[in-house]
Structure 1
Amino acid sequence: MRGQMPSSLSVTIGQYSDKGRKAGNQDFLGALVPDGSALALKGIALAVADGISTSDVGHVAAETAVKSFLSDYYCTADSWPVKTAAERVISAANAWLAAETRRSAGAYDRDRGYVTTLSALVLKARTAHLFHVGDSRIHRLAGRSLEQLTQDHTVRLSSAQAYLGRALGVESHVEIDHRSLAVARGDIFVMTTDGVHDAVDPATMAATIGRNCGDLDLAARLIAEKALENGSNDNVTVQIVRINALPDPEADDYMGSASGLPLPAIPQPGVQFEGFRICRTLSSSSRSHVFLAEDMETGALAVLKLPSIDMRDDPDYLRRFAMEEWIARRINSAHVARAYAREAPRQCLFVAQEFIEGETLEARMADRGQMALGPVRDIAGQIARGLRAFHRMEMLHQDIRPANLLIDRTGTVKILDFGSVQVAGVDEAVTAARDEPIPGTLQYTAPECLLGHPGSEQSDLFSLGVITYQMLTGHLPYGADAARIRSPRDLTRLRYRPAGPRNPAVPDWVDCALEKAVHPEPARRYQAISEFIHDLSHPNPAFARPRRLALIERNPLRFWQGLCLLLFFTAVALLFASHGRAGEFHPIETTIAKERTIA
């Protein structure tokens, strides 16, 4: 079995499973090698399961675990990283099996329930992701032996008696071991059930694979037969996968054909362009050229965004640009601008989005100045709902600013511009190291991002907090200082400027919520955006009588300056004191000297 896409992950898989000396086979295995962008975004998945032999439905549990993993994993969001997708799928399968166990004869005897082990391997880009519950195993060929990569979840009562300490289908919640490791061309992974690895030593399995590397199905069968020959009285299952090729580090296969489209010429108003008629220019900058256009087939209006002329030689910019519509098609929220619904093939690279009639938040703030607390709460809440839609898809917007927030005629806030969005699942598929610029706009970018640290949901929260503060006061919470962060020491100089003095209508408890949302340290911000939105409307008891922080917490720099000054004056005082005592003794010493002279 081979993946055939050029410059992509390619493997050869060998499989074998047999009931052995048992009446039936409680083991189950499977593998799935997708095509196209799914190969880059989701990878290749393999799984082995071993249902407990004491149960009449153990084989059902094993088959369900493997089939649900292989099918449901590829139904998860493309934007999710492997760990998120796989663990949610396995947890769902476990919950179903546990529910079936409670409804079955195994409700009070788990040895008769829908209980199984599961070991799964996902190969994505240049990384192997291992997921494991139970005592099936995943190994990697290492010279003349096998390296065991998973740890058995067994509890041994004696040398002859043991039971599973962890398995699917026992409880509604299960702990899943996860491990990721880099892979190289030629790596071989071996997945076995206990009927095999309890009877065949690693060196023998490695030697068998080495002698039959051209036929991995045969190697798997010979290893299983060796287990039976050595006296195994259990089912025997072996799955072997060899990595034949790894993705080209510069290939963006996850984008499909979009990344290879030619760059368009900048159209003029009135001309036809890809089935649209260009109506007028909406904006033109160093980042993009944006036009209002009419669909010549339906008459509907759309916004067309074309790559900037100035940045067409920047491959990273073009990659991010091509992703914008890909992202828009995967976010479903009333507060996020949608991609334009048109499936016609394209001849060049551009982004088409829905046309929204309204004004940006930037324009509204410029017209109205300070805004009342009620409308600010409403706008902040809508922005938060849009951000949560990104976060549920394992995406970070990273460029929330007033110019990227559009308010339509109904008052609905829409988040625009996805050029800085970070997609966890895509980051895994991009194998080349990229020197990405700092995302977003400096005034609204979280300090940790300015220091080169990866963003988080708290980074998007920081931007939302700054915008909320700005709507209420017309200023930024740290002035221009936050945009000048270049070192950890700069963080200590940041001083939050209370909103109350700038807008007396802002209650103290709202000011405290704002200060927490824009704290320079991510760990000291709200851990959920919903908490911030709640505290904007409901006085938080923790803010009702705020504890006055010690000077070292409020202003560490001033604390250490004061301490140094105190130590200085103490040293000076001690110095004068010692000089004073020395002066008192001088006359005595002189008198004694005189007496000695007279004598």
Structure 2
Amino acid sequence: MSLDHDMMITVGPSPAAADSSPGNKQEALQLFSASCPGHRQHNDDACAVQLSQGAELQQHGSLAAVADGVANAEAGGEAARAAINGFFSDYYSTPETWATKHAVARVLHSLNSWLFRQSGGSTEIRRGWLTTFSAVIFKGTSAHLVHIGDSRIYRLRNGSLECLTHDHSHTLGPRRTFLSRALGMDAHIDVDYRCEALKAGDIFLLSSDGIHDFLPESTIIERLVNFCESTPQQLIDAALQAGSTDNLSAVICRVNSVGLPQCDELAMRNRELPFAPDLRPGQLLDNFQVLQELHASSRSHLYLARDQETDALRVIKTPSVNFCDDPLYIERFIAEEWTGRRVSHPGVIKVFAPSCERRCLYHVLEYIEGQTLRQWMQLNLQPQIPEVRELLGQLVSALRSLQRMEIVHGDLKPENIMMRNDGRLVIIDLGGADGPGLREQLHLSGECVPGSKNYAAPEFFFGDSASHRSDIFSLGVIAYELLTGKYPYPERLGSNHYRLKNYSQMRFTRASAYRSDIPHWIDSALQKACTADPKKRYSALSEFVRDLQIPNPEFKVPHKRPLLERDPLLCWQLLALALLLSHLLYFI
């Protein structure tokens, strides 16, 4: 592992290096750190800070961390340095579409696996690469805290000192503790996470036990109140004078000001743009010449246009003026472009950055020659199963690219899928896309509007959060419709979204009821993908794909249900008819 040149790591008696970080001149946030071996020969602590600027500040924030290598382990110091170095390197490489909580969880899981493998998978502490780890990510108006072990994170606010972490250790006696959780200790880890709102004047302290085990709170408060560059070293000196026999590390962070939540600069500018008027062939919109209108709805307009600089054909998407005073609609329209410009997959439509400053709000999309999947389905009724598998495989590949970025499409349906002239499918509409990272980056305030009621997962209509299982439901409905030409549940008509009291309201009709050549195991796979309750649905796209290709032994041949269960009304009608005939025969 190599150190990032913008990252300051302290692993010995050289606090001045951390204090001289160029980012420390930043007014909103100040970070200083120091570390030393104390009375020991080697320093098994490590600490680092990074003050980000520009886009990096908005996307990932600034970071401070402390790691304390377990002294009884053979490679405690190496583990601490590897954890600090690896976390800084990997965290700043995560996609900006990931939420902070998800990003740190993924990075720490990877780091823990690497450390555990370095010790040969041994659970003996003396043989392990073990270290504590505590970090604070300052992002927007929040502080994201991650913690494992017995290092600590304190916050001084309005003169009151609060420890924001819980020690993962057990006391065995005076100055004797047993560490119950640490990076590298086990193949699986449980890391504490919490998010705290920032206030101007907050001071955070990250410390190893060589400091906080030997200093009373009054001494810590006294040093933090008189915050300056040398505060970390002052805490170390005070702990040594108090009899500290361990390595000592401290990182001090002071929040000088908290502004408005930082949002993507492009998204902020787009919020100020006026709506485009209805366009006609021949008109110019910036450097695009409108050729024809491709589609118009109550929510948006699509135009075929030619880029006069490159002569390339593009599609211009403009918002409907019906929503010019709807801030939630504008948020979602901007989010669609933000998402599209970060996704790179041949199965997802490309969204281009405009080559010049825009005068009004619109997107620039790639032009796809072909037909919608809906049009193809109307011309190809009940295609062969292998052909359906191939089409679904293309959609799964595209959806996986969204899942890797923690994005839920939210509005998957045949009308939002194009088939190129060469037969390749492309998802063309990201207007319903949602995800925790997208919300965190753009500070979206409203809930995403559910997609088309016959394709959207039922949890949307319970007001529950969407997940990747929601897209699996929509994909299952599309697969069902490709094979049968029908919906798996009774069709919902009208423009109003329906309401559900519980999932049991939805009655699934097996695909074999419409098409007898569908094997029972494919029928059961479709039923599982389209299960109303998301907890009973497939949790991964790969599981659905596998069950469509290979018979799942868990899917048994269904027994024919009694007529009373299949059609209660018909059953009672036949019974009434039988009783009527018996009475007639009696009187004859």
Q: TM-score, normalised by structure 2?
A: 0.83
Distance 1:67 1:479, change over 3 A: same
Which segment is superposed worse, 394-403 or 81-90?
A: 81-90
> C-alpha displacement at 1:361, in angstroms?
0.9
Map of 1:12 onto structure 2: 30
Alpha-carbon separation, structure 2, partners of 1:379 and 1:490: 32
Moved more, 70-79 or 322-331: 322-331
1:324 to 315, 336, 339: 336
Give the SS at the match of 1:25: coil
Does the CA-based 8 Å contact 1:154-1:165 persist in structure 2? yes
Distance 1:101 1:543 in 2: 42
1:466 and 2:481 are equivalent in the alignment: no
Residue 551 of structure 1 deviates from its aligned partner by 12
| Cα drift, residue 147 of structure 1 | 2.5
Matched, 1:418 2:436: no
Return 180-189 or 129-138, whichever deviates more.
Answer: 180-189
8 Å CA contact 1:11–1:243 kept in 2: the answer is yes
- Following the alignment from structure 2 to structure 1, what is the Cα–Cα distance between the partners of residues 560 and 157? 60
Change (3 A) 1:183 1:446: same
Q: Is 2:559 the counterpart of 1:544?
A: no
Q: Does 1:451 find its partner at 2:462?
A: yes
Q: Find the residue that maps to 2:411 and give its secondary structure.
A: coil
1:93 — aligned with what?
Answer: 111
Aligned equivalents of 1:408 and 1:415: distance in 2?
A: 11
Kept in 2: contact 1:466–1:477 (CA 8 A): yes
Matched residue, 1:42 = 60
Q: Corresponding residue for 1:228?
A: 240
Q: Specify the SS of the correspondent of 1:238.
A: strand
1:143 Cα shift?
A: 5.9
Query: Which digits, 9 at most, give the CA deviation of each residue in 1:80-102, with x for residues without a partner?
Result: 11122112222333344445555
Deviations 1:485-514 (A, max 9, x none): 755535433222232232233333322222
C-alpha displacement of 1:437: 5.0
Work out whether residues 125 and 431 of structure 1, in 8 Å CA contact, stay in contact via their aligned partners in 2. Answer: no
Question: 1:266-310 CA deviation, whole Å, 9 max, x = no partner?
Answer: 443234433333222211222222122223233222222122222
Q: What SS does the aligned partner of 1:395 have? A: coil
Using the alignment, how far apart are the partners of 1:63 and 1:259 within structure 2? 44
From the superposition, tell whether residues 519 and 247 of structure 1 become closer, same or farther in structure 2 (CA, over 3 Å).
Answer: farther
Q: C-alpha separation between the residues in 1 aligned to 2:268 and 2:69? A: 39
Q: Runs of 5+ in structure 1 lacking a partner? A: 563-599
Q: What is the correspondence of 1:231-270 to structure 2 with a 5 Å cutoff?
A: 231-248=243-260, 255=267, 257-270=269-282
- Partner-residue secondary structure (3-state), 2:229: helix
User: Paired residue for 2:194?
Assistant: 180
- Specify the SS of the correspondent of 2:67: strand
CA drift of 1:261 comes to: 4.3
Structure 2 unaligned segments of length 5 or more: list them.
1-22, 573-588
Matched ranges for 1:13-92 at <5 A: 13-53=31-71, 58-92=76-110
The aligned residue for residue 476 of structure 1 is 487
Partners of 2:370 and 2:408 lie apart in 1 by 25
Does 2:132 match 1:117? yes
Partners of 1:288 and 1:487 lie apart in 2 by: 26
Tell me which moved more, 255-264 or 36-45.
255-264
Give the aligned residue type for 1:178. Answer: D
How far apart are the structure 1 equivalents of 2:58 and 2:561?
Answer: 51
1:296 to 308, 313, 321: 308
Q: Deviations over 1:205-262 (max 9, x none)?
A: 123323x1xx343433332222111111222222222334445269665836444445
Quick check: 1:193 aligned with 2:208? yes
CA offsets per residue over residues 466-503 of structure 1, 9 Å max, x none? Answer: 11222222222212359887555354332222322322
Q: Paired residue for 1:380?
A: 392
Shift of 1:119: 0.8
How much does 1:52 deviate? 3.9
- 2:297 is matched by which residue type in structure 1? S
3-state SS of paired residue (2:344): coil
Query: What does residue 585 of structure 1 align with?
Result: none
Where in structure 2 are the equivalents of 1:181-580 lying within 5 Å?
181-186=195-200, 187-210=202-225, 212=226, 215-248=227-260, 255=267, 257-340=269-352, 346-431=358-443, 434-481=445-492, 486-489=498-501, 491-546=503-558
Q: Does 1:129 align with 2:144?
A: yes
**Residues 1:384 and 1:37: Cα distance change in structure 2 (over 3 Å):** same
Q: In the TM superposition, what whole-angstrom CA distance separates every residue of 1:384-426 from its partner, at most 9, and x where no partner exists?
A: 2211211111010000011101111121111111111002212
Question: Relative to 1, partners in 2 of residues 1:345 and 1:90: Cα closer, same or farther, differing over 3 Å?
Answer: farther
Residue 443 to residue 37, structure 1, CA distance change in 2 (3 Å): farther
- Indicate the residue corresponding to 2:161 in structure 1: 146
Opposite residue 535 of structure 2, the aligned amino acid is A
Contact 2:58 2:263 in 1 (8 A): no
Taking the aligned partners of 1:352 and 1:504, their CA distance within structure 2 comes to: 45
**CA deviations over 1:100-128 (Å, ceiling 9, x no partner):** 5559xxx9985476443211112334443
Distance 1:333 1:128 in 2: 33
Give the superposition deviation at 1:21: 2.8
Q: 2 CA distance for matches of 1:355 and 1:185?
A: 48
Q: Secondary structure at the match of 2:545?
A: helix
Q: How far apart, CA to CA, are the structure 2 residues paired with 1:277 and 1:119?
A: 55
Mapped to 2, the partners of 1:227 and 1:208 lie a distance apart of 12
The Cα RMSD (Å) is 3.4
- After superposition, the Cα gap between the structure-2 partners of 1:485 and 1:403, relative to the gap in structure 1 and judged at 3 Å, is closer
| Greater Cα offset, 191-200 or 471-480 | 471-480
Q: Is the aligned partner of 1:167 residue 2:182?
A: yes
Q: Structure 1 counterpart of 2:196, which letter? A: A
Alignment check: 8 A CA contact 2:169 2:180 kept: yes
The answer to whether the 8 A contact 1:125-1:429 is kept is no
Amino acid at match of 2:97: S
State how far apart, in whole Å, the 2-side matches of 1:528 and 1:115 are: 33
- Identical residues among aligned pairs (%): 36
Cα distance in structure 1, aligned partners of 2:443 and 2:81: 33
Asked if structure 2 preserves the Cα contact closer than 8 Å seen for 1:166 and 1:174, the reply is no
Structure 2 counterpart of 1:209, one-letter code: L
* Equivalence for 1:565: none
Give the secondary structure class of the aligned counterpart of 2:426.
strand
CA-to-aligned-CA distance 1:507-561 (integer Å, 9 cap, x gap): 3332222222212111111222222222223332222333689999x89x99xxx
| TM-score, structure 1 normalization | 0.81
Q: What is the identity, as a one-letter code, of the residue corresponding to 1:48?
A: V
Q: Secondary structure at the match of 1:442?
A: coil
Please name the residue that 2:5 is paired with: none
Q: What's the CA shift for 1:378?
A: 2.0
Contact 1:50–1:116 (Cα < 8 Å) also in 2: yes
Q: Which amino acid aligns with 1:15?
A: S
Q: How many residues align?
A: 546
Do 2:140 and 2:262's aligned partners in 1 also have CA atoms closer than 8 Å?
no
Letter in 2 for 1:198: D
